[in-house]
Amino acid sequence: MKPDGMTVTALIIIEAAALARWVPALARRLAESWRADVSIRVVGGPADNSALLTLLALERVVLHRSRQRWSDRIDRAEIADLIEATADAAYDVVVDLRHDPGDKWSADTLVLQPRFNGATGESALAAALFFGGTPYVEILAACGDDDPRIAASGMASLEAAEGVGGAMEAVWSRVIPLLLKARAGFNTSRALAEPASREARRISRTDIARYGANAVAQAAARAAYRLCCHAPHWRVGWRRAVEGSDVWSRHDLGGEKWRVLNDPGGHFYADPFPCFRNGRDHLFFEDLDHKTGKGVIAVVGFGDDGEPGEARVVLEEPWHLSYPFLIEEEGEIYMVPEASLSGEISIYRATEFPSGWQKEAVLVSGVEAADATIIRHGGRFWMFAVVRNGIGGYSDTLAIWYAPALLGPWKPHTGNPLLIDDRCARPAGNMIVHEGELWRPVQDCRNGYGAALGLARVDKLTTRSFGQTVETVLRPCAEWPGRKLHTLNSNGRIETIDGSVIRPKMKFLADMVERRFEPGA
């Protein structure tokens, strides 16, 4: 690997039939991140990907309405400035995207190759998505004749993906940071890659015909659902905390019965954070108006009778707000709401609790980050959040920052992104120390955004390393019926969760459905 300051030369190899819009996007990102001169070599094969191209063309009409996607084919002429000048050039890094690579490279060349469920090439990715959902992505790395190692791996979130083409885009968007991690961590990677799996299943025209009929039917069903119901409709659950019978102690949702925080129907409530202040419990949460799709932060106070009062809005910005994370420091209460559309992570101080909030500082700027969660641990402040770069899912890429004080300065973790995994990256509420161990609730988005809630033990947290183990995954159940579950919090007095349910727009139907989804019913 070249010393810092010297120009890196990199080559991307792609088959002509798989030359798509994501390849020059990859070249641009590598050039920027590695400060590299990047070239693209376009080669022959595979012989037939016509079925995949038919599928993508169908999706452009039914799902994408002709919007550009990274899966769109491009002509070699569109990237003429990136095409390799000579096949005899030497390269520091080669990114091989082919189905069946066979070239030999010198011991000075690092070769990186993405693999999807054990198979390589675009067809393997498409088949994995078409037949089985999110593939396990590995980046194989080798120099010369050395055995390839698994230098990075992860699983992309498909929560924002439309169809196979959109899912391919989501996975490719996470292949890029995995390639960056693979090069950076190659010298410390030890796991040898297993031999390639059997040939990836081919998508046939019969498969596409069946898929097309289902896609049209599903599009119609989604349109009908949105016409009749609020989608999605989240609601907040709360109960009095009982020592030894809380979620962290039980690792399930049993115990005291959950109660639903009443909402006005045309709004949904989500991301509850309880706080005890001035002798009274308060519950902060996202309040989203279904008509505008924009969230604000609201609060309810609990009266002497232990019942929640009326909701009132306490913080609104021109952009969407949610996840009102709360932390106390030196007697002051601070809030770090999710505001990814603002391009920064900002912190607000309570000037007149609970209603008055003033922006105190920008903790991190130039980042699209969601659900920032802070804990004081090991003499530092640590901030966890999921990040993205304008494309792909919102819940699979974990970044961490650390600081000597709450207001900073905040430094990024040297291993960012620490995780690319839709099952356990996204924060889901306050981190806690339970029985001497550090734990974090995480969103499990494998079956869609906010589908389940994981309880993860943090095994390692330093400025150079991070590791966690998900011990339990909680899903909606008889104690908390519905379709989703994605936040867990407690202030020692009130324990809160949330989840989504079907909510018809017509009130009499909504009342009927609400009775069906009553906790413990």
pLDDT in tens, 87-134: 778 899 999 999 887 788 889 999 999 999 999 999 899 989 988 889
CB-based contacts of 394, cutoff 8 Å, min separation 6: 157, 159, 160, 340, 370, 386, 388, 426, 449
Residue 61's pLDDT band, with cuts at 50, 70 and 90, is confident
pLDDT in tens, 286-314: 999 999 999 999 999 999 999 999 999 99
Short-list 501, 303, 331, 485, CA closest to 406? 331
Q: Which residues pair with 335 in a beta bridge?
A: 326, 348
Q: Who has greater pLDDT, 102 or 157?
A: 157
What's the CATH fold of domain 8-203? Rossmann fold (3.40.50)
Separation CA 137–CA 172 (nearest Å): 10
Residue 509's pLDDT band, with cuts at 50, 70 and 90, is low
Contact (CB, 8 A) for 143 and 111: yes
CB-based contacts of 501, cutoff 8 Å, min separation 6: 233, 235, 481, 482, 483, 513, 514, 517
- Alpha carbon 415 to its chain centroid, in Å, reads 17
- In this prediction the pTM is 0.91
Separation CA 356–CA 379 (nearest Å): 30
Residue range 224-516 forms a domain whose CATH class is: mainly beta
Pairing mode, if any, of strands 397-403 and 380-388?
antiparallel
Contact (CB, 8 A) for 94 and 111: yes
Domain ranges of the chain: 8-203, 224-516
